[in-house]
Structure 1
Amino acid sequence: MRFAKLDTEAGPAQAGRFGIRSIPMLIVFKEGRENARQAGLMQAGQLKRWLEPHLL
């Protein structure tokens, strides 16, 4: 799994391309396609539970 951070102020075109309208925004990509999206802050346990189904 890789994590990347997008500076939406420095890259507004990229933010628009991915439909980022709120911060924080987490997007899971699988084979180059969006597989899941979650807006808002999550605690560590919530983040782990949200990511687990996307690990395989």
Structure 2
Amino acid sequence: MADTVRGSQFEETGWITASYVVAETQPSDERDELLRRADQAPQRAKSTGGDRVETV
């Protein structure tokens, strides 16, 4: 998906970037912990340059 977006030019906006989050549950995860990690990931991706896949 990320490569498709990177390689696409859109009529009204031109080239865009996007960051994606992939969250994997751990056996010890509580629901709130997983959501906390997933919520923090987009900011981490943005602070490291964006246009990337961030895993948690």
Bucket of the pairwise TM-score, normalised by the shorter protein: under 0.3
> Higher helix proportion, which one?
2
> Higher strand proportion, which one?
1
Max radius of gyration: which structure? 2
TM-score, normalization by structure 1: 0.26
- Determine which structure has greater relative contact order: mean sequence separation of CA pairs < 8 Å that are 6+ residues apart, divided by chain length: 2
TM-score, normalization by structure 2: 0.26
